Amino acid sequence: MNFEKVSLSILQEALEKLEDGFNDLPEIDHDVDTNALRAILLETAERMRDNYPYQHPLYAGQMLKPPHPVARLAYMLSLWLNPNNHALDGGRASSAMEKEAVANIAAMFGWDAHLGHLCGGGTMANMEALWVAGRLYPGKKVVASQQAHYTHNRLTEVLHIPFQAIPCDTRAKMDLNALEDVLKQGGVGTVVATLGSTATGSVDPLPDILDLKKRYNFHLHVDAAYGGYFFLANNLASEARTAFDRITDADSIVIDPHKHGLQPYGCGCVLFKDPSVGKFYKHDSPYTYFSSAELHLGEISLECSRAGASAVALWATQKLFPMRKGETFSQGLEKGRKAALDLFHHFQEDTRFLTALPPELDIVIWAPQGKSASEISQRSKAFFEAAAAENLHLAVASFPKTMFEDSWDIDWDEEQISCLRSCLMKAEHLAWVEHIWQILNRVAVRTI
Ligand SMILES: *Cc1c(COP(=O)(O)O)cnc(C)c1O
Protein backbone atom coordinates (compact mmCIF):
# COMPACT_ATOMS: atom_id res chain seq x y z
CA MET A 1 0.00 0.00 0.00
CA ASN A 2 1.41 3.37 -0.84
CA PHE A 3 0.37 6.59 0.77
CA GLU A 4 -0.01 9.83 -1.13
CA LYS A 5 2.85 11.97 0.23
CA VAL A 6 3.74 14.28 -2.65
CA SER A 7 1.27 16.91 -1.48
CA LEU A 8 2.98 17.14 1.92
CA SER A 9 5.58 19.64 0.72
CA ILE A 10 2.78 22.12 -0.03
CA LEU A 11 1.95 22.19 3.69
CA GLN A 12 5.33 23.74 4.49
CA GLU A 13 4.78 26.46 1.90
CA ALA A 14 1.22 27.16 3.01
CA LEU A 15 2.30 27.25 6.65
CA GLU A 16 4.88 29.93 5.87
CA LYS A 17 2.24 31.89 4.01
CA LEU A 18 -0.05 31.65 7.02
CA GLU A 19 2.75 32.66 9.36
CA ASP A 20 3.36 35.79 7.28
CA GLY A 21 -0.02 37.01 8.45
CA PHE A 22 1.32 37.16 12.02
CA ASN A 23 4.69 38.78 11.29
CA ASP A 24 4.01 41.97 13.19
CA LEU A 25 3.88 40.09 16.50
CA PRO A 26 7.00 39.85 18.67
CA GLU A 27 8.82 36.55 18.16
CA ILE A 28 8.43 33.68 20.60
CA ASP A 29 10.82 30.79 21.27
CA HIS A 30 9.71 27.25 20.63
CA ASP A 31 11.20 24.76 22.96
CA VAL A 32 10.81 21.48 21.11
CA ASP A 33 13.08 18.54 21.84
CA THR A 34 13.10 17.21 18.30
CA ASN A 35 15.01 14.04 19.19
CA ALA A 36 12.43 13.01 21.76
CA LEU A 37 9.62 14.06 19.46
CA ARG A 38 11.07 12.06 16.58
CA ALA A 39 11.43 8.94 18.70
CA ILE A 40 7.82 9.11 19.87
CA LEU A 41 6.46 9.91 16.45
CA LEU A 42 8.23 6.92 14.95
CA GLU A 43 6.89 4.77 17.76
CA THR A 44 3.43 6.14 16.97
CA ALA A 45 3.87 5.18 13.31
CA GLU A 46 5.00 1.72 14.35
CA ARG A 47 1.93 1.34 16.54
CA MET A 48 -0.44 2.57 13.82
CA ARG A 49 0.89 -0.02 11.36
CA ASP A 50 -1.57 -2.36 12.98
CA ASN A 51 -4.55 -0.17 12.11
CA TYR A 52 -7.55 -1.73 10.44
CA PRO A 53 -9.48 -0.78 8.40
CA TYR A 54 -7.21 1.10 6.07
CA GLN A 55 -7.65 3.20 2.97
CA HIS A 56 -6.96 0.79 0.11
CA PRO A 57 -9.54 -0.05 -2.59
CA LEU A 58 -9.28 -3.71 -1.52
CA TYR A 59 -10.94 -2.59 1.67
CA ALA A 60 -14.48 -2.95 0.35
CA GLY A 61 -16.38 -3.50 3.59
CA GLN A 62 -17.89 -0.85 5.83
CA MET A 63 -18.28 2.81 4.88
CA LEU A 64 -14.82 4.20 4.50
CA LYS A 65 -13.53 6.88 2.19
CA PRO A 66 -10.15 8.55 2.55
CA PRO A 67 -10.11 12.31 3.03
CA HIS A 68 -8.80 14.11 -0.02
CA PRO A 69 -5.24 15.48 0.35
CA VAL A 70 -6.63 19.02 0.19
CA ALA A 71 -8.81 18.31 3.23
CA ARG A 72 -5.97 16.63 5.11
CA LEU A 73 -3.57 19.49 4.44
CA ALA A 74 -6.06 22.30 5.16
CA TYR A 75 -7.01 20.55 8.40
CA MET A 76 -3.36 20.25 9.45
CA LEU A 77 -2.59 23.82 8.37
CA SER A 78 -5.33 25.17 10.60
CA LEU A 79 -3.91 23.31 13.63
CA TRP A 80 -1.17 25.90 13.97
CA LEU A 81 -4.02 28.21 15.02
CA ASN A 82 -6.41 25.56 16.36
CA PRO A 83 -9.58 27.57 15.80
CA ASN A 84 -12.67 26.79 17.86
CA ASN A 85 -15.88 27.26 15.89
CA HIS A 86 -18.15 27.51 18.89
CA ALA A 87 -18.29 31.23 18.15
CA LEU A 88 -17.09 33.83 15.70
CA ASP A 89 -14.81 34.88 18.53
CA GLY A 90 -13.26 31.41 18.80
CA GLY A 91 -12.15 31.47 15.20
CA ARG A 92 -12.99 34.47 13.09
CA ALA A 93 -11.82 33.22 9.70
CA SER A 94 -12.71 29.57 10.32
CA SER A 95 -16.26 30.48 11.43
CA ALA A 96 -16.78 32.56 8.32
CA MET A 97 -15.46 29.63 6.27
CA GLU A 98 -17.91 27.31 8.01
CA LYS A 99 -20.81 29.59 7.14
CA GLU A 100 -19.75 29.63 3.49
CA ALA A 101 -19.21 25.87 3.33
CA VAL A 102 -22.58 25.17 4.97
CA ALA A 103 -24.34 27.67 2.69
CA ASN A 104 -22.83 25.82 -0.28
CA ILE A 105 -24.32 22.55 0.95
CA ALA A 106 -27.70 24.22 1.49
CA ALA A 107 -27.49 25.71 -2.02
CA MET A 108 -26.72 22.25 -3.44
CA PHE A 109 -30.12 21.16 -2.10
CA GLY A 110 -31.75 24.27 -3.54
CA TRP A 111 -32.07 26.26 -0.32
CA ASP A 112 -31.29 30.01 -0.38
CA ALA A 113 -32.25 30.61 3.21
CA HIS A 114 -31.32 28.11 5.92
CA LEU A 115 -30.05 27.74 9.44
CA GLY A 116 -27.28 25.23 9.83
CA HIS A 117 -23.78 24.39 10.93
CA LEU A 118 -21.18 21.67 11.12
CA CYS A 119 -20.93 19.31 14.06
CA GLY A 120 -19.14 16.19 15.22
CA GLY A 121 -20.98 13.83 12.87
CA GLY A 122 -24.29 12.48 11.68
CA THR A 123 -25.42 11.36 15.11
CA MET A 124 -24.99 14.80 16.63
CA ALA A 125 -26.57 16.39 13.55
CA ASN A 126 -29.61 14.08 13.75
CA MET A 127 -29.91 14.78 17.46
CA GLU A 128 -30.24 18.50 16.77
CA ALA A 129 -32.78 17.92 14.03
CA LEU A 130 -34.87 15.65 16.28
CA TRP A 131 -34.53 18.05 19.18
CA VAL A 132 -35.82 20.98 17.10
CA ALA A 133 -38.59 18.80 15.62
CA GLY A 134 -39.56 17.81 19.17
CA ARG A 135 -39.80 21.47 20.14
CA LEU A 136 -41.99 22.19 17.12
CA TYR A 137 -44.31 19.23 17.87
CA PRO A 138 -44.11 18.77 21.62
CA GLY A 139 -45.27 15.42 22.99
CA LYS A 140 -45.53 13.87 19.52
CA LYS A 141 -43.73 10.81 18.15
CA VAL A 142 -40.75 10.46 15.88
CA VAL A 143 -41.10 7.68 13.33
CA ALA A 144 -38.37 6.22 11.11
CA SER A 145 -38.04 3.04 9.10
CA GLN A 146 -36.66 -0.20 10.51
CA GLN A 147 -33.65 0.35 8.28
CA ALA A 148 -33.08 3.92 9.53
CA HIS A 149 -29.84 4.45 11.41
CA TYR A 150 -30.02 2.76 14.82
CA THR A 151 -29.14 6.02 16.57
CA HIS A 152 -32.57 7.60 15.87
CA ASN A 153 -34.21 5.31 18.37
CA ARG A 154 -31.49 5.94 20.94
CA LEU A 155 -31.47 9.71 20.38
CA THR A 156 -35.21 9.93 20.98
CA GLU A 157 -34.57 8.17 24.30
CA VAL A 158 -32.03 10.85 25.21
CA LEU A 159 -34.51 13.54 24.17
CA HIS A 160 -37.49 11.85 25.89
CA ILE A 161 -39.45 11.80 22.65
CA PRO A 162 -41.57 8.71 21.87
CA PHE A 163 -40.32 6.67 18.89
CA GLN A 164 -41.87 4.13 16.56
CA ALA A 165 -40.18 2.06 13.84
CA ILE A 166 -42.02 1.69 10.53
CA PRO A 167 -41.60 -1.66 8.74
CA CYS A 168 -39.75 -1.80 5.42
CA ASP A 169 -40.74 -3.32 2.11
CA THR A 170 -38.65 -5.95 0.32
CA ARG A 171 -36.29 -3.28 -0.96
CA ALA A 172 -35.46 -2.02 2.54
CA LYS A 173 -37.46 1.17 1.99
CA MET A 174 -40.03 2.55 4.39
CA ASP A 175 -43.36 0.84 3.72
CA LEU A 176 -45.83 3.59 2.79
CA ASN A 177 -48.96 1.70 3.85
CA ALA A 178 -47.43 0.98 7.23
CA LEU A 179 -46.47 4.66 7.56
CA GLU A 180 -49.96 5.83 6.67
CA ASP A 181 -51.51 3.43 9.17
CA VAL A 182 -49.40 4.98 11.91
CA LEU A 183 -50.13 8.54 10.72
CA LYS A 184 -53.87 7.80 10.76
CA GLN A 185 -53.65 6.89 14.43
CA GLY A 186 -52.35 10.43 15.09
CA GLY A 187 -49.68 11.68 17.43
CA VAL A 188 -46.80 11.72 14.90
CA GLY A 189 -44.75 14.92 14.95
CA THR A 190 -41.74 13.89 12.88
CA VAL A 191 -41.11 11.50 10.02
CA VAL A 192 -37.49 10.63 9.30
CA ALA A 193 -36.89 9.72 5.66
CA THR A 194 -33.55 8.02 5.07
CA LEU A 195 -32.02 8.85 1.71
CA GLY A 196 -29.37 6.19 1.56
CA SER A 197 -29.75 3.75 4.44
CA THR A 198 -26.53 2.72 6.11
CA ALA A 199 -26.95 -1.02 5.63
CA THR A 200 -28.20 -1.25 2.05
CA GLY A 201 -28.10 2.26 0.59
CA SER A 202 -31.88 2.14 0.12
CA VAL A 203 -33.67 5.39 -0.59
CA ASP A 204 -37.01 6.00 1.15
CA PRO A 205 -39.88 7.11 -1.16
CA LEU A 206 -39.61 10.82 -0.39
CA PRO A 207 -42.17 12.08 -2.97
CA ASP A 208 -44.86 9.84 -1.46
CA ILE A 209 -43.87 10.78 2.09
CA LEU A 210 -44.19 14.44 1.07
CA ASP A 211 -47.71 13.72 -0.22
CA LEU A 212 -48.55 12.27 3.19
CA LYS A 213 -47.11 15.38 4.83
CA LYS A 214 -49.76 17.47 3.05
CA ARG A 215 -52.48 15.35 4.60
CA TYR A 216 -51.06 14.64 8.03
CA ASN A 217 -48.76 17.60 8.69
CA PHE A 218 -45.48 16.67 10.35
CA HIS A 219 -41.86 17.75 10.43
CA LEU A 220 -40.07 15.94 7.62
CA HIS A 221 -36.47 15.22 8.46
CA VAL A 222 -34.21 13.75 5.77
CA ASP A 223 -31.34 11.70 7.11
CA ALA A 224 -28.90 11.82 4.22
CA ALA A 225 -25.80 11.41 6.37
CA TYR A 226 -24.39 8.83 3.99
CA GLY A 227 -26.42 9.44 0.81
CA GLY A 228 -26.76 13.23 0.61
CA TYR A 229 -24.04 13.96 -1.91
CA PHE A 230 -25.63 11.53 -4.39
CA PHE A 231 -27.89 14.47 -5.13
CA LEU A 232 -25.13 15.39 -7.61
CA ALA A 233 -24.72 11.98 -9.27
CA ASN A 234 -26.11 11.59 -12.79
CA ASN A 235 -26.34 7.79 -12.76
CA LEU A 236 -29.09 7.12 -10.23
CA ALA A 237 -32.09 5.04 -11.23
CA SER A 238 -35.21 7.15 -11.76
CA GLU A 239 -36.85 6.26 -8.43
CA ALA A 240 -33.82 7.37 -6.41
CA ARG A 241 -33.35 10.41 -8.66
CA THR A 242 -36.91 11.54 -8.00
CA ALA A 243 -36.43 11.14 -4.26
CA PHE A 244 -33.19 13.15 -4.24
CA ASP A 245 -34.78 15.88 -6.35
CA ARG A 246 -37.39 16.39 -3.62
CA ILE A 247 -34.91 16.85 -0.74
CA THR A 248 -35.43 20.54 -1.23
CA ASP A 249 -38.96 20.13 0.20
CA ALA A 250 -37.73 18.68 3.51
CA ASP A 251 -37.83 20.68 6.76
CA SER A 252 -34.40 19.56 7.91
CA ILE A 253 -31.50 17.65 6.38
CA VAL A 254 -28.47 15.87 7.79
CA ILE A 255 -25.45 15.18 5.60
CA ASP A 256 -22.02 13.92 6.66
CA PRO A 257 -19.09 15.50 4.84
CA HIS A 258 -16.99 12.86 6.62
CA LYS A 259 -18.84 10.08 4.80
CA HIS A 260 -18.95 11.06 1.13
CA GLY A 261 -17.56 14.59 1.26
CA LEU A 262 -13.84 13.68 1.32
CA GLN A 263 -13.38 14.94 4.91
CA PRO A 264 -11.59 13.52 7.95
CA TYR A 265 -13.89 12.28 10.71
CA GLY A 266 -15.53 14.87 12.89
CA CYS A 267 -17.57 16.59 10.18
CA GLY A 268 -21.35 16.30 10.12
CA CYS A 269 -23.82 18.95 9.03
CA VAL A 270 -27.40 19.80 10.00
CA LEU A 271 -29.60 22.17 8.02
CA PHE A 272 -33.02 23.64 8.75
CA LYS A 273 -35.07 25.20 6.02
CA ASP A 274 -36.73 27.72 8.33
CA PRO A 275 -34.05 29.90 9.98
CA SER A 276 -36.51 30.94 12.71
CA VAL A 277 -35.92 27.61 14.51
CA GLY A 278 -32.83 29.39 15.82
CA LYS A 279 -35.08 30.64 18.62
CA PHE A 280 -34.97 27.20 20.29
CA TYR A 281 -31.23 27.45 20.78
CA LYS A 282 -31.39 30.57 22.91
CA HIS A 283 -29.08 30.41 25.85
CA ASP A 284 -27.60 32.89 28.21
CA SER A 285 -24.11 31.70 28.91
CA PRO A 286 -22.08 34.01 31.11
CA TYR A 287 -18.80 32.97 29.57
CA THR A 288 -19.30 32.85 25.79
CA TYR A 289 -18.20 35.98 24.06
CA PHE A 290 -20.59 38.50 22.62
CA SER A 291 -18.21 40.88 20.93
CA SER A 292 -19.94 40.44 17.63
CA ALA A 293 -23.46 41.52 16.79
CA GLU A 294 -23.83 38.72 14.24
CA LEU A 295 -25.48 35.48 15.31
CA HIS A 296 -22.53 33.26 16.07
CA LEU A 297 -22.28 29.54 15.54
CA GLY A 298 -22.35 28.80 19.25
CA GLU A 299 -25.80 30.36 19.39
CA ILE A 300 -27.21 27.89 16.88
CA SER A 301 -25.57 24.65 17.92
CA LEU A 302 -25.93 22.24 20.81
CA GLU A 303 -22.21 21.54 20.99
CA CYS A 304 -19.97 24.26 22.36
CA SER A 305 -16.30 23.80 21.39
CA ARG A 306 -15.84 22.32 17.91
CA ALA A 307 -12.85 21.87 15.63
CA GLY A 308 -12.58 24.88 13.35
CA ALA A 309 -10.15 22.67 11.44
CA SER A 310 -13.13 20.70 10.07
CA ALA A 311 -14.63 23.84 8.59
CA VAL A 312 -11.30 24.92 7.10
CA ALA A 313 -10.84 21.49 5.51
CA LEU A 314 -14.36 21.43 4.09
CA TRP A 315 -14.08 24.96 2.75
CA ALA A 316 -10.80 24.16 0.96
CA THR A 317 -12.25 20.95 -0.47
CA GLN A 318 -15.27 22.76 -1.86
CA LYS A 319 -12.94 25.35 -3.45
CA LEU A 320 -11.01 22.62 -5.25
CA PHE A 321 -14.10 20.55 -6.04
CA PRO A 322 -17.21 22.66 -6.45
CA MET A 323 -20.34 20.65 -5.71
CA ARG A 324 -21.84 20.86 -9.16
CA LYS A 325 -23.31 18.16 -11.34
CA GLY A 326 -20.98 16.87 -14.04
CA GLU A 327 -17.75 17.99 -12.32
CA THR A 328 -14.94 16.06 -10.64
CA PHE A 329 -16.56 15.66 -7.22
CA SER A 330 -19.85 14.33 -8.57
CA GLN A 331 -17.97 12.11 -11.04
CA GLY A 332 -16.25 10.50 -8.05
CA LEU A 333 -19.65 9.52 -6.63
CA GLU A 334 -20.77 8.27 -10.03
CA LYS A 335 -17.70 6.02 -10.24
CA GLY A 336 -18.44 4.37 -6.90
CA ARG A 337 -22.01 3.81 -7.98
CA LYS A 338 -20.90 2.38 -11.32
CA ALA A 339 -18.49 0.05 -9.47
CA ALA A 340 -21.39 -1.15 -7.29
CA LEU A 341 -23.54 -1.82 -10.35
CA ASP A 342 -20.71 -3.69 -12.11
CA LEU A 343 -20.05 -5.87 -9.09
CA PHE A 344 -23.75 -6.52 -8.57
CA HIS A 345 -23.99 -7.60 -12.21
CA HIS A 346 -21.23 -10.19 -11.67
CA PHE A 347 -23.09 -11.67 -8.69
CA GLN A 348 -26.36 -11.70 -10.60
CA GLU A 349 -24.82 -13.65 -13.48
CA ASP A 350 -23.24 -16.27 -11.24
CA THR A 351 -25.35 -19.08 -9.75
CA ARG A 352 -22.99 -19.47 -6.79
CA PHE A 353 -24.38 -16.20 -5.43
CA LEU A 354 -27.76 -14.87 -4.38
CA THR A 355 -28.85 -11.28 -4.89
CA ALA A 356 -32.09 -9.44 -4.27
CA LEU A 357 -31.66 -5.70 -3.90
CA PRO A 358 -30.18 -3.88 -6.90
CA PRO A 359 -27.91 -1.16 -5.44
CA GLU A 360 -29.61 2.22 -5.29
CA LEU A 361 -26.36 4.03 -4.42
CA ASP A 362 -22.93 2.39 -3.97
CA ILE A 363 -23.64 -0.42 -1.48
CA VAL A 364 -23.88 -4.01 -2.75
CA ILE A 365 -25.62 -6.79 -0.79
CA TRP A 366 -25.22 -10.43 -1.77
CA ALA A 367 -24.85 -13.88 -0.28
CA PRO A 368 -23.30 -17.22 -1.15
CA GLN A 369 -26.10 -19.58 -2.17
CA GLY A 370 -27.22 -22.29 0.23
CA LYS A 371 -30.19 -24.49 1.15
CA SER A 372 -31.31 -22.67 4.27
CA ALA A 373 -31.04 -19.32 6.01
CA SER A 374 -28.69 -20.81 8.60
CA GLU A 375 -26.43 -22.34 5.94
CA ILE A 376 -26.28 -19.06 4.01
CA SER A 377 -25.45 -17.14 7.19
CA GLN A 378 -22.65 -19.58 7.98
CA ARG A 379 -21.29 -19.39 4.44
CA SER A 380 -21.39 -15.57 4.49
CA LYS A 381 -19.20 -15.56 7.59
CA ALA A 382 -16.81 -18.15 6.14
CA PHE A 383 -16.65 -16.17 2.91
CA PHE A 384 -15.88 -12.98 4.83
CA GLU A 385 -12.96 -14.71 6.60
CA ALA A 386 -11.61 -16.35 3.47
CA ALA A 387 -11.71 -13.04 1.53
CA ALA A 388 -9.96 -11.24 4.40
CA ALA A 389 -7.17 -13.83 4.22
CA GLU A 390 -6.65 -12.61 0.63
CA ASN A 391 -6.59 -8.97 1.78
CA LEU A 392 -10.05 -8.31 0.37
CA HIS A 393 -12.14 -6.91 3.19
CA LEU A 394 -15.92 -7.21 3.09
CA ALA A 395 -18.58 -6.71 5.74
CA VAL A 396 -21.23 -9.06 7.11
CA ALA A 397 -24.72 -7.62 7.63
CA SER A 398 -27.79 -9.23 9.12
CA PHE A 399 -31.29 -8.69 7.66
CA PRO A 400 -34.83 -9.81 8.49
CA LYS A 401 -36.29 -12.74 6.54
CA THR A 402 -39.04 -10.43 5.19
CA MET A 403 -36.54 -8.69 2.93
CA PHE A 404 -35.60 -11.77 0.95
CA GLU A 405 -38.35 -14.36 1.36
CA ASP A 406 -40.06 -13.35 -1.90
CA SER A 407 -36.84 -13.68 -3.90
CA TRP A 408 -35.01 -16.59 -2.32
CA ASP A 409 -36.55 -20.05 -2.42
CA ILE A 410 -34.73 -21.51 0.58
CA ASP A 411 -35.61 -23.11 3.91
CA TRP A 412 -36.27 -20.16 6.26
CA ASP A 413 -35.14 -21.89 9.41
CA GLU A 414 -34.13 -18.55 10.97
CA GLU A 415 -35.78 -15.14 11.13
CA GLN A 416 -32.56 -13.27 10.35
CA ILE A 417 -30.01 -13.94 7.66
CA SER A 418 -26.39 -12.81 7.40
CA CYS A 419 -25.32 -11.55 4.00
CA LEU A 420 -22.20 -9.90 2.64
CA ARG A 421 -22.03 -6.19 2.14
CA SER A 422 -19.62 -3.93 0.29
CA CYS A 423 -19.54 -0.15 0.32
CA LEU A 424 -17.76 0.86 -2.90
CA MET A 425 -17.39 4.45 -1.75
CA LYS A 426 -14.07 5.30 -3.29
CA ALA A 427 -13.85 6.58 -6.85
CA GLU A 428 -10.89 4.18 -7.25
CA HIS A 429 -13.21 1.24 -6.72
CA LEU A 430 -14.30 1.47 -10.34
CA ALA A 431 -10.78 0.71 -11.57
CA TRP A 432 -10.47 -2.11 -8.99
CA VAL A 433 -13.79 -3.82 -9.47
CA GLU A 434 -12.51 -6.54 -11.85
CA HIS A 435 -9.60 -7.24 -9.54
CA ILE A 436 -12.06 -7.51 -6.64
CA TRP A 437 -14.23 -9.86 -8.67
CA GLN A 438 -11.25 -12.12 -9.42
CA ILE A 439 -10.52 -12.47 -5.71
CA LEU A 440 -14.21 -13.12 -4.96
CA ASN A 441 -14.17 -15.76 -7.64
CA ARG A 442 -11.15 -17.52 -6.11
CA VAL A 443 -12.74 -17.36 -2.66
CA ALA A 444 -16.01 -18.76 -4.05
CA VAL A 445 -14.23 -21.73 -5.59
CA ARG A 446 -12.96 -22.65 -2.13
CA THR A 447 -15.93 -21.81 0.08
CA ILE A 448 -19.22 -22.36 -1.80
C1 LIG B 1 -23.51 7.16 9.35
C2 LIG B 1 -24.92 7.49 9.49
C3 LIG B 1 -25.41 8.14 10.62
C4 LIG B 1 -24.54 8.43 11.82
O5 LIG B 1 -23.55 9.34 11.49
P6 LIG B 1 -22.15 9.41 12.27
O7 LIG B 1 -21.42 10.43 11.48
O8 LIG B 1 -21.55 8.03 12.18
O9 LIG B 1 -22.42 9.82 13.65
C10 LIG B 1 -26.74 8.49 10.66
N11 LIG B 1 -27.56 8.20 9.64
C12 LIG B 1 -27.14 7.55 8.53
C13 LIG B 1 -28.10 7.25 7.43
C14 LIG B 1 -25.80 7.18 8.41
O15 LIG B 1 -25.39 6.50 7.33
Domain with residue 339: its CATH number is: 3.90.1150.10
Looking at the domain assignment, is residue 58 inside a domain?
no
Q: In terms of residue numbers, what domain contains 159?
A: 79-286+293-320
- Torsion sign (Cα): 433, 436, 438, 443: negative
Looking at the domain assignment, is residue 45 inside a domain?
no
226 in contact with ligand 1, CB cutoff 6 A: yes
- What pLDDT shows up at residue 289? 45
Looking at the domain assignment, is residue 26 inside a domain?
no
What residue's CA is closest to ligand 1, atom 5?
122
For residues 308 and 390, membership in a common domain is answered with: no
- What pLDDT shows up at residue 284? 61
Q: Separation of 255 CA from ligand 1 center, angstroms?
A: 8
For residues 302 and 388, membership in a common domain is answered with: no
Q: How far apart are CA 12 and CA 18, in angstroms?
A: 10
Q: In total, how many domains does the chain have?
A: 2
For residues 240 and 387, membership in a common domain is answered with: no
Looking at the domain assignment, is residue 223 inside a domain?
yes
Q: Separation of 123 CA from ligand 1 center, angstroms?
A: 6
For residues 404 and 435, membership in a common domain is answered with: yes
For residues 266 and 173, membership in a common domain is answered with: yes
Looking at the domain assignment, is residue 53 inside a domain?
no
Strand-pair category, 115-119 with 363-368: unpaired
Rounded to two decimals, what is the model's pTM? Answer: 0.96
For residues 251 and 399, membership in a common domain is answered with: no
How would you write the pLDDT of the chain (448 residues) with one tens digit per residue? 589 999 999 999 999 999 999 999 999 999 999 999 999 999 999 999 999 999 999 999 999 999 999 999 999 999 999 999 987 788 999 999 999 999 999 999 999 999 999 999 999 999 999 999 999 999 999 999 999 999 999 999 999 999 999 999 999 999 999 999 999 999 999 999 999 999 999 999 999 999 999 999 999 999 999 999 999 999 999 999 999 999 999 999 999 999 999 999 999 999 999 998 988 887 665 554 444 445 567 778 899 999 999 999 999 999 999 999 999 999 999 999 999 999 999 999 999 999 999 999 999 999 999 999 999 999 999 999 999 999 999 999 999 999 999 999 999 999 999 999 999 999 999 999 999 999 999 999 999 8
For residues 89 and 223, membership in a common domain is answered with: yes
For residues 216 and 337, membership in a common domain is answered with: no
Looking at the domain assignment, is residue 61 inside a domain?
no
- What pLDDT shows up at residue 252? 98
For residues 191 and 246, membership in a common domain is answered with: yes
Looking at the domain assignment, is residue 235 inside a domain?
yes
198 in contact with ligand 1, CB cutoff 6 A: yes
For residues 308 and 382, membership in a common domain is answered with: no
What residue's CA is closest to ligand 1, atom 3?
122
What is the domain-level CATH number for residue 126?
A: 3.40.640.10
For residues 297 and 381, membership in a common domain is answered with: no
Q: Separation of 413 CA from ligand 1 center, angstroms?
A: 32
For residues 346 and 308, membership in a common domain is answered with: no
- What pLDDT shows up at residue 444? 96
Looking at the domain assignment, is residue 54 inside a domain?
no
